[in-house]
Amino acid sequence: MHLPIPQPYDFTLSTVRFREYGSDGATVWHDGGLQRVIAGREVRIEPVGGGVRLDPGSVEAAAEVSFLLGLPFDLDAFRAWAEHEAVLADVVARVPGFRPTLTPNRFEALVIAITAQQVSLQAAAAIRARFVARYGARHEVACEFPARERVADATVSELRSLGFSERKAEYVLGLARSELDLERLGTLPDADVVETLVAVRGLGRWTADWFLARALARPAAWPAGDLGVRKAVGAFYADGRSLSIEEVRTMGERFTPFQNLTAQHLLVGLRMAG
């Protein structure tokens, strides 16, 4: 099944985070493509002219992969707008085929955020890989990300044996057992999403901002508290000076209405510059 993607599109560049930080077993870089379990079947996603090929293809696979590969983003409008922002225009010009990826499973997105708190992304991926292997359904290459109900039956000691700290184990179990309606979050305004998430133990503003950015694809999401975003903004807009969260949050106003895409492009721009 062929899934068209607006051009220009660089599949390898756009999926860089699934290689550089290590796989957690749920979305796996394998032989030049991605493998992910969708609706109970393992799907291979590989680049072809004008988009990607899905094998096997289905309506469910097309919908999930469309979100995973960032098709909700209006990159044409963003690029046109960025032409008037000199520094950002240069960054965008150097990565013409970049389209940020998203996380289709909202429970998965929050578990990713919890594991990534105050540790390297590589360490977080390694911990999740053990978690996914333990509680997810194994297929040929990838595992299905563990269902919320399955995780709710786990114990703190089980998660600690996989590398979780006691506190993060409690956060993941608390999330799985909570009454948080993940589907309803998609219907709420950004501010209400933040308010709802930070009310859950272990989910702070950093987690809420990244959830808006990568689980809901909200245009105005601006993870000002993220160290990588702060470094990128400082590198491109403050001569490398270290910026506070408050400074970066305030600077986000200049990128309205494309804060999310700006943050994602500055991050990949900094990675390539390094």
- β-pair partners for 43: 36
Delineate the domains of the chain, giving CATH numbers in brackets: 2-72 (no CATH), 106-202 (1.10.340.30), 227-273 (no CATH)
* 124-162 per-residue burial string, b: 16 or more CB within 10 A, e: under 16: bbbbbbbbbebbbeebebbbbbbebeebeebeeebbeeb
Straight-line distance from the first to the last Cα atom of the chain, in angstroms, rounded to the nearest whole number: 37
Give residue-wise pLDDT tens across range 5-21: 999 999 999 999 999 88
Tell me how far apart the alpha carbons of residues 274 and 232 are, in angstroms, rounded to a whole number: 11
Tell me how far apart the alpha carbons of residues 50 and 180 are, in angstroms, rounded to a whole number: 39
Give residue-wise pLDDT tens across range 124-177: 999 999 999 999 999 999 999 999 999 999 999 999 999 999 999 999 999 999
Least Cα distance to 134 among 161, 108, 116 occurs for: 161
3-class SS at 65?
Answer: helix
Instruction: From first to last of the 274 residues of the chain, give the pLDDT tens digit.
Output: 999 999 999 999 999 999 988 889 999 999 999 999 999 999 999 999 999 999 999 999 999 999 999 999 999 999 999 999 999 999 999 999 999 999 999 999 999 999 998 888 899 999 999 999 999 999 999 999 999 999 999 999 999 999 999 999 999 999 999 999 999 999 999 999 999 999 999 999 999 999 999 999 999 999 999 999 999 999 999 999 999 999 999 999 999 999 999 999 999 999 888 6
Query: Residue 21's pLDDT is what?
Result: 85
CA angle 62–116–22, rounded 5-degree value = 60
Token pair listed for 93: 């010009």
Q: Nearest 10 degrees: CA dihedral of 111, 112, 118, 124?
A: 110
Write down the H helix ranges in 69-204: 75-82, 86-94, 106-116, 121-135, 148-152, 156-160, 166-177, 182-185, 190-198
Tell me how far apart the alpha carbons of residues 177 and 129 are, in angstroms, rounded to a whole number: 21
Residue 2 phi/psi, 5-degree rounding, is -95, 130
Query: Residue 274's pLDDT is what?
Result: 67
